[in-house]
Structure 1
Amino acid sequence: MKFRTITLATAALCLCFTAVSAKDAVVEKRETMMKQIGGSMGALAAIAKGTKPFDADAVKTAVSTISTNIKAFPDQFPAGSDADSEAAPAIWTNNADFRAHAAKLGSDADMILAAMPTDAAGVGKAAQTLGANCGACHQTYRLKK
């Protein structure tokens, strides 16, 4: 009887750790995706400001990363993954609008990819467009910690 109780308690504890670990992995994945988007925006800003030389391949890589990540990003918020992150509760209560913000950023990134900037000024305009999308979404859907 004692062995059975210990076994059941151990199994329950393992299941709890697995659930917490899976939740942490979801939060970590979406934070990694957003950091990649932020790094891409930083690369575009450096070219736009002239602190880095214009590099068409770097621009394409940055905008492609933004496009790819933002399209998958809204699916990284399953129910119950709201703790210990900078995600605002509005993501879950107003998910359609959150997804619309992500879709707008994705479509703007795709438009930029279709007509790639050819100089730093063009990269600056692209960064402004993408940055406006980022800012609009962050105002509502990101907690400031």
Structure 2
Amino acid sequence: MRRLILAISAVALTATAALADPISERQAIMKSNGKALKSISAIAKGEQPFDADKVMAALKTLNEDAQKIDVEKLFPDGSQTGGDTTASPKIWDDMAGFQKAVDKFKADTASAVTASPASLDDLKVEFGKVAKNCSSCHEGFRIKKG
């Protein structure tokens, strides 16, 4: 009986550890995205001077992070409750809709890099597309904190 309990505990611990990895990985990507967006948000709002190098670095980071979002790998079934996550159960209820939102984010960040905004007006167009993806996904597929 003791061996059975130990075996079950080991399996449960292994499963919990396996689910923690995608949560940590997706959170790291989202934190990086947030940092990149924040770094150019004030520029897009006209509160800081336009800096093409800073803008491109942030857009490239956003694009690289977006391309890392593998829905199957980062949002496997069971990871909605496997740790400290604000991912909404709606992701797993509407995986096709979530995948579509991720695909749009990937396309829009790639497009922003290709557009290589050379002015504040150009940045506003590209930043608006990318930021709209973030807000719509957070509204539909994220649990609000607090």
Of the three residues 15, 26, 50, the one matched with 1:54 is 50
Larger radius of gyration: 1
Hey, what does 1:17 align to over in structure 2? 13
With structure 2 as the length reference, what TM-score do the two structures score?
0.83
CA contact (8 A) 2:19 2:79 kept: yes
Q: Which amino acid is 1:33 matched to?
A: I
Between the aligned partners of 2:111 and 2:117, the Cα distance in structure 1 is 11
1:50-89 to 2 correspondences below 5 Å:
50-73=46-69, 74-75=71-72, 76-83=74-81, 84-89=84-89
Provide structure 2 residue ranges, at least 5 long, that are not aligned to the other structure: none
Which residue type is aligned with residue 57 of structure 1?
Answer: D
Q: Distance in 2 between matches of 1:90 and 1:137?
A: 11
Q: Any gaps of 5 or more consecutive residues in structure 1?
A: none
2:110 equivalent in structure 1: 110
How many residue pairs match? The answer is 141
Query: Between the two proteins, what is the percent identity of the paired residues?
Result: 31
The alignment yields a C-alpha RMSD, in angstroms, of 1.9
Deviates more, 1:93-102 or 1:112-121: 112-121
Which residue of structure 2 lines up, in the alignment, with residue 141 of structure 1?
141
Assess if the C-alpha contact under 8 Å between 1:71 and 1:103 holds in 2: no
